[in-house]
C-alpha cells in the first residue's frame, strides 16, 4: 500500500414514509410482522430468523438489522433473509428487526423478548456483525495515488489522463453468483500509480447506516475478518493487490494493511503505520490467473490496543502471522475497508473481479 490520507464527506439523509407493500416477518424467536407485535422467551444466545420483502422497490431489500437498544444494531446482514444467533445478557428487551431496501424505504417488526440466562451459564460474548456481498453495495469511493508520495490525488478523475480506473458492479461473468464487481486499473501517463477504493462501514458517511454518533459500537469491536474472492486474467501484470482493514477509535488509528506483491516478488507484506513501511512476512502469495482465488484475512485489536495480524489464507492455505504493531493517532471514529490495485513500471492496464466480499467484526 502506498498510503494516502483517508478523506471523509458529509451526507444529510431524509427519512420518508414507508409504502404499505414493504414488510418484515420474524419466525424466531416467536413470530411478528410489520403490523403486529409478539413476545418470546429464550436463553442466550437467542436464535433469530426473519425474512423481508419490498415489492414497491424493484431493487429489493438491502439489509436486515436487529436492534436490542435504540442506538446501534446488535447484528446486521445484507439481503432479505436473516438467520443468526445473538448473545444477550439476561433481561427484558424490546427488539426491533428492521429491513431497509435499496430505494430508501424501511420497515420494522417489534417483539418483546425475555432472556432468562446464558445457555452455558457464562456471560455471553459480544455479538458478531457481518456484511455480505459488499462488492455490489453502495459506498465505494475511488482515488488515484501517484508517486513519489502516493498521497491521494485530489485533482484526478477516473477518466484520466494521469491515471484511469473503473468500478462496475453487477457483472454476470466471470462471477460466482451473477453479481461480481469489475475493478479496473486503466493505465495513464503515470508509471507506478495505484488505485484505491474505500468503503466507510461505521462512523460518518457509513454505507451501512451505522453512524455510531455516540461511539457506543466501534469501541467494543476487536476482531475483524475480511473474506473475498477475486479473479484476474493475468496476475503477472499486477505490481500488487492490497486489502486493508482500518479502525479508528479512542484517539488511535489501527491500519491492518495487507499487500500481495506479485510483480514485486510473490510475497505477503503487512504494514507498519508508525514507520510508514511494509514488513515482509515470508509468506508466499501466488494467486492463480484465470480462476477464482479465495482470500481470508483475520486481525485483532488486542486488549492492550495493539494491532495483531493473525492469519492470511489464500486458496485453502493458511499462514499464521501473529505479528503486532503499535497504532498511530487520529481524531476520527469509525471502521473502513480498503481495496487497491497497484500498477507496474509500465503502467500496464489490468482488471480484477471481486465477488462474495464479506466483512465480519466482533
Q: Is the residue at 17 inside a domain?
A: no
Structural domain that includes position 216 = 134-361
Q: Does 105 share its domain with 70? A: yes
What single string gives the DSSP state of each residue in 127-152?
A: PPEEE--GGGSS-EEEEEEETTTTEE
In a shared domain, residues 280 and 357: yes
Assess if residue 356 is contained within a domain: yes
Look at residue 167 in the predicted model and tell me its pLDDT: 98
Q: Does the structure show a pLDDT above 80 at 109?
A: yes
Domain count, the chain: 2
DSSP-assigned beta bridge partners for residue 257: 244
My answer on whether 354 and 215 are in the same domain is: yes
pLDDT at 122: 54
Same domain for 157 and 284: yes
Residues 91, 140 share a domain: no
- Answer whether 101's CB lies under 8 Å from 138's CB: no
| Assigned domain for 12 exists | no
How confident is the model over 219-229, as a mean pLDDT? Answer: 95
- Last residue of a domain, which of 125, 158, 176? 125
Domain-ending residue, one of 66, 97, 125: 125
* pLDDT value at residue 15: 31
Which of 125, 148, 182 corresponds to the end of one domain? 125
CATH number (domain holding residue 146): 2.60.120.260
**Are 133 and 358 contacting, i.e. CB atoms less than 8 angstroms apart?**
yes
Average pLDDT over every residue of 102-112: 85
Does the pLDDT of residue 1 top 70, yes or no?
A: no
Do 270 and 142 share a domain, yes or no?
A: yes
Residue 276 shares a structural domain with residue 323:
yes
Pairing mode, strands 140-146 and 129-131: unpaired
Q: What span, in angstroms and rounded, lies between the C-alpha atoms of 195 and 12?
A: 28
Q: Are residues 84 and 146 in the same domain?
A: no
- Contacts (Cβ under 8 Å, ≥6 apart) of 317: none
In a domain, 18, yes or no: no
In terms of domains, do 120 and 146 share one? no
Of all residues in the chain, the percent with pLDDT exceeding 70 is 88
- Return d(Cα 144, Cα 163) in angstroms, integer: 7
Give yes or no: residues 215 and 315 share one domain. yes
Cell numbers at residue 149, please?
A: 508520495
Residue 181 has pLDDT above 70, yes or no: yes
**Contact by Cβ (8 Å): 297, 258:** yes
| Residue 196 clears pLDDT 90, i.e. is over it | yes
Q: What are phi and psi of 35, to 5 degrees?
A: -110, -5
Q: Poorest-confidence range of 149-158, 292-301, 320-329?
A: 149-158
Domain at 51, CATH number: 2.60.40
- On whether residue 101 sits in a domain, the answer given is yes
**DSSP designation for 196:** E
Let me know: does 321 contact 310? Beta carbons within 8 Å.
yes
The mean of the pLDDT values for the chain is 86
Inside any domain, residue 77: yes
- Residue identified by cell 486499473 is 185
Q: What is the pLDDT of residues 118-152, one digit of tens each?
A: 655 555 555 678 999 999 999 999 999 998 888 89
Residue 42 pLDDT class (50, 70, 90 cuts): confident
Whether residue 14 lies inside any domain: the answer is no
For residue 12, the model assigns a pLDDT of 27
Residues 141 and 283 in one domain: yes
Residue 8: inside a domain, yes or no? Answer: no
84 vs 56: CA distance, rounded Å: 27
Q: Are residues 156 and 182 in the same domain?
A: yes
The pLDDT, as a whole number, for residue 9 is 30
Amino acid at each position: 500500500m502506498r498510503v494516502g490520507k483517508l478523506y471523509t464527506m458529509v451526507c444529510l439523509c431524509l427519512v420518508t414514509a414507508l409504502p404499505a407493500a414493504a414488510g418484515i416477518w420474524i419466525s424466531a424467536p416467536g413470530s411478528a410482522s410489520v403490523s403486529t407485535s409478539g413476545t418470546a422467551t429464550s436463553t442466550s444466545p437467542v436464535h433469530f430468523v426473519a425474512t423481508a420483502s419490498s415489492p414497491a422497490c424493484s431493487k429489493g431489500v438491502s439489509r436486515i438489522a436487529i436492534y436490542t437498544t435504540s442506538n446501534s444494531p446488535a447484528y446486521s446482514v445484507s439481503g432479505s433473509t436473516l438467520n443468526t444467533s445473538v448473545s444477550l445478557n439476561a433481561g427484558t428487551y424490546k427488539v426491533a428487526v428492521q429491513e431497509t431496501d435499496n430505494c430508501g424505504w424501511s420497515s420494522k417488526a417489534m417483539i418483546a423478548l425475555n432472556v432468562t440466562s446464558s445457555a452455558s451459564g457464562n456471560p455471553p460474548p459480544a455479538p458478531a456483525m457481518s456484511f455480505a456481498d459488499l462488492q455490489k453495495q453502495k459506498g465505494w469511493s475511488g482515488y488515484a495515488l501517484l508517486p513519489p508520495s502516493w498521497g491521494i490525488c485530489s485533482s484526478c478523475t477516473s477518466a484520466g489522463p494521469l491515471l484511469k480506473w473503473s468500478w462496475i458492479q453487477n457483472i454476470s461473468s466471470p462471477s460466482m453468483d451473477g453479481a461480481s464487481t469489475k475493478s479496473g486499473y486503466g493505465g495513464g501517463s503515470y508509471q507506478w500509480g495505484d488505485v484505491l477504493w474505500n468503503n466507510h462501514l461505521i462512523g460518518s458517511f457509513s454505507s451501512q447506516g451505522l453512524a455510531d454518533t455516540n461511539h457506543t459500537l466501534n469501541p467494543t469491536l476487536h476482531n475483524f475478518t475480511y473474506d473475498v474472492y477475486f479473479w484476474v486474467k493475468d496476475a503477472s501484470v499486477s505490481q500488487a493487490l492490497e486489502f486493508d482493514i482500518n479502525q479508528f477509535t479512542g484517539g488511535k488509528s489501527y491500519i491492518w494493511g495487507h499487500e500481495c506483491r506479485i510483480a514485486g516478488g510473490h510475497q505477503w507484506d503487512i504494514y507498519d503505520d508508525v514507520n510508514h513501511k511494509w514488513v515482509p512476512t515470508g509468506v508466499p502469495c501466488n494467486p492463480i490467473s484465470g480462476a477464482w482465488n479465495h482470500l481470508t484475512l483475520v486481525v485483532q485489536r488486542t486488549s492492550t490496543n495493539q494491532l495483531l495480524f493473525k492469519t492470511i489464507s489464500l486458496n485453502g492455505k493458511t499462514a499464521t502471522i501473529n505479528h503486532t504493531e503499535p497504532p498511530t493517532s487520529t481524531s476520527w471514529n469509525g471502521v473502513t475497508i480498503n481495496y487497491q490495485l497497484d500498477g507496474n513500471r509500465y503502467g500496464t492496464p489490468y482488471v480484477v473481479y471481486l465477488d462474495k466480499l464479506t466483512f465480519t467484526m466482533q
